[in-house]
Amino acid sequence: MRQQLLLNPTLRDVPADAEAVSHRLMLRAGFIRQLSSGIYSYLPLGLKALRNIQQIVQEEMDAAGAQEMLMPALHPSELWKESGRWDIYGPELMRLEDRNGREFALGATHEEVITSLVRDEIQSYKKLPMTLYQIQTKFRDERRPRYGLLRGREFLMKDAYSFDRSSAGLDLSYKQMYNAYDRIFRRTGLKFRAVEADSGAIGGTDTHEFMALADVGEDTIVYCPSCQYAANLEKAVGVIPELQMTAETNNSTPPEKIHTPQASSIKKLSQFLNVKPQQIIKTIALKADGAPLVVLIRGDYELNEIKIRQVVNAEQISMMTEDEIMNELRSVAGFIGPIGLLGRSGVQLIADDSVRGLTEAVIGANEADFHLQHVQVDRDLPTLMYADLRNVAEGDTCVHCLSELVFAKGIEVGHVFKLGTKYSHSLGAVYNDEAGASQDIVMGCYGIGISRVLAAIVEQNHDDYGIIWPHAITPFSIHLLTVKTQDEAQMKLSEHIYDTLTRAGFSVLWDDREERPGVKFHDADLLGFPLRLTVGKKAAESSIECKERRNGNQYELQVDNLLAHCQTFFN
Ligand code: ATP
Ligand code: MG
């Protein structure tokens, strides 16, 4: 391809609201353009890179035995009402009406469509297991579309759905997709971790997210540097390090009320009493599906709402208001404490494991501006119920091998999920087993954000000058630059190189523009193809200059050796 004709509007400056590196670089390099918030056009180079990712995904899905198909983006509301999600999905689902006032949604995901299709087309166990997938545009009216392609409102997803006779069958299908994902992300060159994730309230048992490591990532992942353990923060478990208490245990002193004016937060209280947060027990008043729930946690830890929801089996957790604290707990916000609440009827009280065995602890006194000190948990709160309710924190160790856990930011690029019979049941997708009995089909679903992967790759592969494409994804392998297009020798040699390399199967972008050399070099670095070949002054001697984008290596090469060099370089 000759760059002269290419639609590749590079930019010097990008809009200030483009925060993520990948967003800025893809705008600057002329890969994408925004049409509206979270909605982008892929210009020719962007599309090429996107297609390369898509192809890897297709190859690995096909190799895993999945069958590609394509479903509509426009979904009749009836289908989403059948699954119950028309009401549950909320404003993220884009909805519209046709000319007759019939309601539709723009597909945010395709469980409903695929399940109804399978319901209608598959009857016998003989057709199962089966995995179907598609690569298609998804629509989600995200609350905060941002970071360019990382969180769009219209984006490209590969979604796959497996259909099995039993949960043992699902386990196999799931493993196959998991392994395919592992190969896909390896091939893209991404640094990633597959992490255990929370499967939410509904059905599913197993779920993993594939996280590309990047500081811009919105998810926190926790992994063990020594063993395989890796999980999302919301799911991660850890071992609490042995606590060094500052104060001596004093079993003869009962809890003592102490005046702590204004000290309604852990920080203020710890300053006021000059004790470490580890010695303070936070008492947090919540509502779990409307019922009072009081939770205790050590002052230096954070609550994990998802764990709480699971422990008490609630859909909704919210904070109690000050009024509710007063009326329902007869306590005061900022000064709540477990003594007096523990055992009270109608109030469920659970402590995080971090509270176990604390001595000389400080708790709220259920009275404005007062706390209790000298609390010995085992002595003063002997009937506490314990559970894991907290986010693991820096310093916690791995439950499997006791190495210190590592925290990192991740971009969720893929997700595998065991659905079970949630959708087959609500939509009536059944099969007849060998005995002729009707059974719910057991399902799994598997997504990859293709456009998000593109951005994640740029997040991980760039420097101050531009993008550094991995070989497998780059829009063009070779960037051929002719320094002076009016120079006949340079043009002739360039043409020869272009023909030789393209005939040998390399994709080459030939910068034949009448631009200053500085502009061409600058753009080549910005666009970031792996190998740059510059035809300049030494064209008459059949000598050119090579530059490797990733490591900056620069050297001269005789044209006769070029093809062999490229073959080695790209192998
Ligand atoms: P997130 O938590 O980031 O919103 P999700 O849990 O909603 O993701 P899924 O419903 O599992 O995502 O969708 C499958 C995949 O689609 C995700 O793993 C992600 O790679 C991609 N994806 C989801 N939402 C977006 C988006 N708004 N823009 C780009 N890709 C997305
Ligand atoms: Mg989402």
- Quick one: pLDDT at residue 526? 98
- Quick one: pLDDT at residue 198? 84
- Quick one: pLDDT at residue 342? 86
CATH code of 3-236+407-458, in short, is: 3.30.930.10
When pLDDT is cut at 50, 70 and 90, the band that residue 204 belongs to is low
Q: Which residues of 418-429 are buried (b: 16+ CB within 10 A; e: fewer)?
A: bbbbbbbbbbeb
For ligand 1, atom 21, name the residue with the nearest CA.
449
- Quick one: pLDDT at residue 87? 93
Give yes or no for a contact between 366 and 335, defined as CB atoms under 8 angstroms apart.
yes
Residue 63 to residues 54, 56, 181, 443: CA-CA distances in angstroms?
A: 14, 11, 12, 20
**Pocket of ligand 1 contains residue 146 by CB under 6 Å:** no
- Quick one: pLDDT at residue 245? 64
Counting ligands in written order, which one lies closest to the CA of residue 452? 1
Annotated domain spans of the chain:
3-236+407-458, 256-387, 478-570
| pLDDT tens digits, 116-164 | 999 999 999 999 999 999 999 999 999 999 999 999 999 999 999 999 9
CA gap 387, 480 in Å, rounded: 62
Q: Retrieve residue 134's tokens.
A: 């598609």
For ligand 1, atom 13, name the residue with the nearest CA.
447
Shortest-distance atom of ligand 1 to CA 108: 10
| pLDDT tens digits, 64-90 | 999 999 999 999 999 999 999 999 999
- Going through 421-568 in order, the beta strands assigned E by DSSP cover 430-432, 438-440, 442-449, 462-463, 466-467, 478-482, 508-511, 531-535, 543-548, 554-558
**Pocket of ligand 1 contains residue 420 by CB under 6 Å:** no
Strand partners, 462: 467
- Quick one: pLDDT at residue 205? 67
Residue 402, amino acid: L
Ligand 2 mean position, distance from CA 300 (Å):
30
**Pocket of ligand 1 contains residue 138 by CB under 6 Å:** no
Ligand 1 mean position, distance from CA 157 (Å):
8
Q: What percent of the chain has pLDDT over 90?
A: 92
**Pocket of ligand 1 contains residue 419 by CB under 6 Å:** no
- Quick one: pLDDT at residue 199? 77
Is the Cα torsion angle 461, 462, 463, 469 positive or negative in sign? positive
Ligand 1 mean position, distance from CA 302 (Å):
26
For ligand 1, atom 1, name the residue with the nearest CA.
412
| pLDDT tens digits, 224-267 | 999 989 999 999 999 998 876 656 677 788 999 999 998 989 99
CATH architecture of 478-570: 3-Layer(aba) Sandwich (3.40)
CA gap 238, 250 in Å, rounded: 29
Ligand 2 mean position, distance from CA 153 (Å):
10
**Pocket of ligand 1 contains residue 157 by CB under 6 Å:** yes
**Pocket of ligand 1 contains residue 412 by CB under 6 Å:** yes
**Pocket of ligand 1 contains residue 447 by CB under 6 Å:** yes
For 435, other C-beta atoms within 10 Å of its C-beta total 7
Which of 54, 149, 157, 181 most suits a substitution to test ligand 1, by most atoms within 8 Å of the C-beta?
A: 157
**Pocket of ligand 1 contains residue 451 by CB under 6 Å:** yes
Q: Retrieve residue 38's tokens.
A: 């979270």
Is the Cα torsion angle 26, 27, 29, 32 positive or negative in sign? positive
- List strands edge to edge, sheet with 508-511: 508-511, 478-482, 531-535, 543-548, 554-558
Counting ligands in written order, which one lies closest to the CA of residue 209? 1
Phi/psi class of residue 151: alpha, beta or left (left: φ > 0; alpha: ψ in -120 to 50)? beta
The number of C-alpha atoms within 13 Å of 557 and in the hemisphere containing its C-beta is 21
CATH code of 256-387, in short, is: 3.90.960.10
- Quick one: pLDDT at residue 150? 98
**Pocket of ligand 1 contains residue 158 by CB under 6 Å:** no
Ligand 1 mean position, distance from CA 456 (Å):
13
For ligand 1, atom 3, name the residue with the nearest CA.
412
Nearest by Cα to 497 from 468, 539, 526: 539
Backbone angles phi, psi at 391, to 5 degrees: -75, 135
**Pocket of ligand 1 contains residue 511 by CB under 6 Å:** no
pTM: 0.91
For ligand 1, atom 2, name the residue with the nearest CA.
412
- Quick one: pLDDT at residue 242? 84
What is the average pLDDT across 309-319?
A: 93
Give yes or no for a contact between 177 and 160, defined as CB atoms under 8 angstroms apart.
yes
What is the average pLDDT across 299-304?
A: 96
Residue 29 to residues 47, 68, 145, 409, 530: CA-CA distances in angstroms?
A: 13, 32, 21, 26, 15
| pLDDT tens digits, 449-489 | 999 999 999 999 999 999 999 999 999 999 999 999 999 99
- Quick one: pLDDT at residue 332? 95
Give yes or no for a contact between 408 and 213, defined as CB atoms under 8 angstroms apart.
yes
Ligand 2 mean position, distance from CA 2 (Å):
40
Which of 37, 93, 452 most suits a substitution to test ligand 1, by most atoms within 8 Å of the C-beta?
A: 452
Given a cut of 90, whether residue 411 has pLDDT beyond it is: yes
Q: CA 473, 459, 533 angle in degrees (round to 5)?
A: 50
Which of 198, 412, 423, 451 most suits a substitution to test ligand 1, by most atoms within 8 Å of the C-beta?
A: 412
**Pocket of ligand 1 contains residue 142 by CB under 6 Å:** yes
Given a cut of 80, whether residue 202 has pLDDT beyond it is: no
- Quick one: pLDDT at residue 201? 54
When pLDDT is cut at 50, 70 and 90, the band that residue 42 belongs to is very high
Ligand 2 mean position, distance from CA 521 (Å):
39
The number of C-alpha atoms within 13 Å of 305 and in the hemisphere containing its C-beta is 11
- Quick one: pLDDT at residue 17? 87
Ligand 1 mean position, distance from CA 108 (Å):
10
256-387 and 478-570 share one fold: no
For ligand 1, atom 19, name the residue with the nearest CA.
449
- Going through 233-339 in order, the beta strands assigned E by DSSP cover 256-259, 281-288, 291-298, 317-319
| pLDDT tens digits, 439-450 | 999 999 999 999
When pLDDT is cut at 50, 70 and 90, the band that residue 200 belongs to is low
**Pocket of ligand 1 contains residue 307 by CB under 6 Å:** no
Backbone angles phi, psi at 230, to 5 degrees: -150, 135
- Quick one: pLDDT at residue 15? 87
- Quick one: pLDDT at residue 335? 95
Counting ligands in written order, which one lies closest to the CA of residue 155? 1
**Pocket of ligand 1 contains residue 449 by CB under 6 Å:** yes
Q: Retrieve residue 224's tokens.
A: 């063990």
Ligand 2 mean position, distance from CA 155 (Å):
12
Ligand 2 mean position, distance from CA 223 (Å):
23
For ligand 1, atom 23, name the residue with the nearest CA.
449
Ligand 1 mean position, distance from CA 449 (Å):
6
Ligand 2 mean position, distance from CA 495 (Å):
48
Given a cut of 80, whether residue 434 has pLDDT beyond it is: yes
Give yes or no for a contact between 417 and 159, defined as CB atoms under 8 angstroms apart.
no
